Amino acid sequence: MALYAVRMDVDLPSDLPGRDELLAREKAYSQDLQRSGQWAHIWRITGQYSNLSIFEVADNDALHELLWGLPLFPYMTIEVTPLGRHPSAL
């Protein structure tokens, strides 16, 4: 399994038709991934419509598919950082 830090910045138009339904689908999708352990952590970035998340998935392709499946994906700017164990970590 591989770990990734992923920053997601959302730019969702406030007048987007079907906005509430889209947000509900996003929440359900993300919570399913959290329950499965693939979306290991999610933190809000204070004062922004952004989050910093940790994903634990098989590989780059698995993360790619997961991110592209996000209902809000078309409205996101995403930055992915692959993570490795630090030699000083306990």
Residues 6+ away with beta carbon under 8 Å from 16? 22
Q: What is the pTM of this model?
A: 0.93
Tens digits of per-residue pLDDT, 14-65? 999 999 999 999 999 999 999 999 999 999 999 999 999 999 999 999 999 9
HSE toward the beta carbon, residue 31, CA cutoff 13 A: 6
Return the pLDDT at 76: 98
- Could you give all domains of the chain from N- to C-terminal order, each with its CATH number? 2-83 (3.30.70.1060)
Return the pLDDT at 30: 98
Return the pLDDT at 19: 97
Return the pLDDT at 46: 98
Return the pLDDT at 28: 98
3-state secondary structure of 32: helix
